Structure 1
Amino acid sequence: PTGRYVNHSSLHDSGLTGRKLIVDSFGGYSPIGGGAQSSKDYTKVDRSGLYAARYIAKNIVAAGLAKKCIVQLSYAIGVAKPVSVSVDCMGTNLGAASDDELSAFVLEKFPLTPRWIIDKFGLDRPGKGSFLYADVAARGQVGNDEYPWEQLDGVELFRALK
C-alpha cells in the first residue's frame, strides 16, 4: 500500500534470515511466513506478530474453546492493523464459537498494532525478570512460560464466548 519498496539492502533487511526456521515454526508443526524470527528485531511484525498470534491461540485453548488453534495475522507495509485475522481450530472447537466468530472476536478485542504488541509484551524492555532476546534465540520463540507472550491473562475475555 505504500508504493515502491525503495529501501532494500543489507542496511535495511539484515540478519540471519533462514536461521532456525524449524525451531521458529514449533518444530515444523505450525506454518511460518518464510523468514526466521530470531533474525528480526521486535518492531517487525514477522516477529512481534508471531508473539501476538501465539498469545491469542494459547488463550483460546486455555479458555476451553478448542483443543488446538492456529492464529494467522497478515500485515501490509504502512498499515498498522492487520489486514486479515484468521483463527483455525482445525475442527477441535469445543464451544459455541466457530472459527469465523473467533476471528471476528480477535479483530474486535485486540488492537494488534505493532505498538500494542510491543507494549503488551514489553518487547522494548527485555530483562532478567521477563525474557532476554539471547535466550529466545537459543531456546526458541515459544514454549517457555517465562515469556510474556506465553501468559494466559486473556482467558476470561475468551470465556465470554462459551
Structure 2
Amino acid sequence: MELSLLDGERLLHQSPNQVVSLTTHRVRLHRASGSAAHIVSMMLEKVSSCEIRYLSHPWLVLVGALLAVSGVLALFQRVEPGIVALLLLLGGVLLIAYFASRYHVVSIASDGGTRLSFETKGMQREVVIGFIDNLEQAKNQRMLQLSQGGHSQAGQPNVLYAAR
C-alpha cells in the first residue's frame, strides 16, 4: 500500500516489504493479509521508547535435549527400538521447533499508550539497529523542528536525509 504523505512530510526509510515506514513526521505500520488489515500510525513527537526483543521458547531445547538424551540412554539399555526411535525423533523435532520459532520483535511505544510492534524476520541485525538509530534521529529532528516553529532558520522545512 502506498503511503500517503502529509504536507511537508518526506519518506526517510521503508522496510523492504513496505510494512514499516519512517517519515519526517511519523512512523507507520501497515500489515494486510487476506481479509485482515492492521494499521498503526504514530507521530514522532509521541514516540517515548523503542526496543528490540528477542523471543524464544527455551523449554523446547530443554525438553528436546532430555528426550534425545533419554533416547541415547535407552539405546544402551537395550530398550525396544521403537521407543528409542520415538524418543530421538521427538527430541529432534523439539530442537528443530526451538530454532524455527526464535524471532526478534521491534516495539515502539508512544506516550499515549499505543504500541507499534513488528517482527524483523529476514532483516539483518545491523539493519534493525539502523532503523532504530534513524527513528531516534528523526524524532530528534522533529522535536527541533517543532521547537523552531516548524521551519529551519532559512525558512525552509527541515529535511533529515533521503530514503534508503
Q: Give the TM bin, normalised by the shorter chain.
A: under 0.3
| Higher relative helix content | 2
TM-score normalised according to structure 1 size: 0.26
| Higher relative strand content | 2
TM-score normalised according to structure 2 size: 0.25
